[in-house]
């Protein structure tokens, strides 16, 4: 069975849902990755690993490395340019043409025929405009298929003991909370691929703990999903829920 994992930037797939995606790949799902941008607006590393002009190409290769580590079947870039962070850490969407973006996602659905799509939450995790745009486009694309639509799952769903409340999508209560310990080695390997972003990965966690942490220490061991379409009542009535329930649901 095919899955489509659609995210705004390289590293979103690993840091927000890498454990679940690796588990599904390990157990026979073909996971196809779709990235809207190459992350040109992100960090260049501390110390810098490349110039700003080189960052998109570098992060493309980092995502290739991460997808391989997670057991992904394919990787496609939609070619949007990630805007650089503005003053006061203001974040931006990567396009204002939602119709075109949703059409591109629909084309990927027709190409890969996935049973489910995984994407950002309806709150954009911490309200990131690019994440919100990606979720909206995915939802429009899925709805356009009517009765033949794939399932739509969003990541970082909220639950009472969520380890990183700042990232939790408060409007998306978790239908599945998964202990990803069995796939933690794959998630760690994928996170280490994203070398330009390592300082970002550990910065907030180090502040919270009052000491420096490593990239593996910064990774979440619990990941969560909310099924948007069709709405879920929590029963294991689709292949994703059934598979995860059989393996490792917390």
3-state secondary structure string, the chain?
Answer: CEEEEEECCCCHHHHHHHHHHHHHHHCCCEEEEEEEECCCCCCCCCCCCCCCCCHHHHHHHHHHHHHHHCCCCEEEEEEECCCCCCHHHCCCCCCCCHHHHHHHHHHHHHHHCCCEEEECCCCHHHHCHHHHHHHHHHHHHHHCCHHHCCEEEEECEECCCCCCHHHCEEEEECCEEEECHHHHHHHHHHHHHCHHHHHHHHHHHHHHHCCCCCHHHHCCCEEEEEEEECCCCCCCCCHHHHHHHHHCEC
Average pLDDT over residues 94-106: 98
Could you give the maximum distance between any two Cα atoms of the chain, in Å? 51
Tokens of 134: 């990606």
Tokens of 25: 């790949």
Average pLDDT over residues 5-11: 98
Q: What is the pLDDT confidence band of residue 126, given thresholds at 50, 70 and 90?
A: very high
Architecture of the structural domain at 2-247: 3-Layer(aba) Sandwich (3.40)
Tokens of 60: 């493309």
pLDDT score of 191 more than 80? yes
Give the tens place of pLDDT for each residue, 134-186.
999 999 999 999 999 999 999 999 999 999 999 999 999 999 999 999 999 99
List the strands of the sheet with 30-37, edge to edge. 74-80, 30-37, 2-7, 116-119, 151-155, 222-229, 176-179
Q: What is the pLDDT confidence band of residue 247, given thresholds at 50, 70 and 90?
A: confident
pLDDT of residue 73: 98
End-to-end alpha carbon distance in the chain: 24
C-alpha to C-alpha distance for 118 and 70, rounded to whole angstroms: 15
Q: What is the CA radius of gyration of the chain?
A: 17
Q: What is the pLDDT confidence band of residue 236, given thresholds at 50, 70 and 90?
A: low
Give the tens place of pLDDT for each residue, 17-49.
999 999 999 999 999 999 999 999 999 999 999
Sequence spans of domains, the chain: 2-247
* Closest alpha carbon to 250 in 173, 159, 168, 171: 159
Give me the long-range contacts of 59-64 (CB less than 8 A, separation at least 24).
59/9, 59/10, 59/11, 59/194, 59/196, 60/10, 62/10, 62/11, 62/193, 62/194, 62/195, 62/196, 62/197, 63/10, 63/11, 63/13, 63/33, 63/35, 63/38, 63/39, 63/193, 63/194
Sign of CA dihedral 113, 116, 122, 125: negative
Q: What is the pLDDT confidence band of residue 250, given thresholds at 50, 70 and 90?
A: low
């Amino acid at each position: 069975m095919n899955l489509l994992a659609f995210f705004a930037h390289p590293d979103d797939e690993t840091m927000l849902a890498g454990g679940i995606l690796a588990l599904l790949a390990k157990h026979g799902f073909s996971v196809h990755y779709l990235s809207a941008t190459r992350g040109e607006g992100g960090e260049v590393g501390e110390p810098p690993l490349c110039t700003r002009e080189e960052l998109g190409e570098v992060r493309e290769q980092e995502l290739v490395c991460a997808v391989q580590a997670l057991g992904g079947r394919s990787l496609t870039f939609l070619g949007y340019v990630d805007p650089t962070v503005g003053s006061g850490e203001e974040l931006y969407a990567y396009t204002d043409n939602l119709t075109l973006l949703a059409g591109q996602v629909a084309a990927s659905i027709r190409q890969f025929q996935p049973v489910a799509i995984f994407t950002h939450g309806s709150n954009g995790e911490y309200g990131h405009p690019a994440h919100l745009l990606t979720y909206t486009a995915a939802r429009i694309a899925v709805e356009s298929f009517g009765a033949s639509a794939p399932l739509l799952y969003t990541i970082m769903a909220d639950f009472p003991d969520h380890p990183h409340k700042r990232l939790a999508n408060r409007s998306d209560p978790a239908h599945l909370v998964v202990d990803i310990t069995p796939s933690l080695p794959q998630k760690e390997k994928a996170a280490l691929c994203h070398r330009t972003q390592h300082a970002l990965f550990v910065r907030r966690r180090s502040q919270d703990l009052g000491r420096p942490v490593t990239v593996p220490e910064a990774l979440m061991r619990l990941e969560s999903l909310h099924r948007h379409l069709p709405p879920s009542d929590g029963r294991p009535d689709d292949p994703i829920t059934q598979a995860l329930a059989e393996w490792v649901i917390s």
